[in-house]
Amino acid sequence: MAKTEATPDYLKKGDGHTVITLNRAVKINGIDANQLTMREPTVADQLASEKMNAEDGEADCTYIANLCGITPDEIKSLTLRDFKRLKEAFEGFID
């Protein structure tokens, strides 16, 4: 039997989305937010990401920002710990 890992408390999976609780609040449209909602990626999202002429880090920021409905600059203002949480949420959609 395969070992299953428990979903961390900071990730709340829904139908086609995941709510990520941030370790530190971030300004989104001028408002402090301590949670972000990431929608499930589509094939179109993946194709658009592949067309980007950006380095891997820039492409990841843009891709994840699009899935969360925020700007890449807002993603760049996150702590590395919180960006890791977003990447973990993304991985949960494609595993």
CA contacts within 13 A on the Cβ side of 7: 15
Amino acid present at 81 = R
In this structure, what token pair is assigned to residue 85?
């949480």
**pLDDT at residue number 6:** 85
CA contacts within 13 A on the Cβ side of 25: 8
pLDDT tens series, the chain, 95 aa: 455 678 899 999 999 999 999 999 999 999 999 999 999 999 999 888 888 776 777 888 999 999 999 999 999 999 999 999 999 999 999 88
Q: How many CB atoms lie within 10 A of CB 58?
A: 13
Q: What is the DSSP letter of 8?
A: P
**pLDDT at residue number 43:** 95
CA angle 68, 13, 26 (to 5 degrees): 40
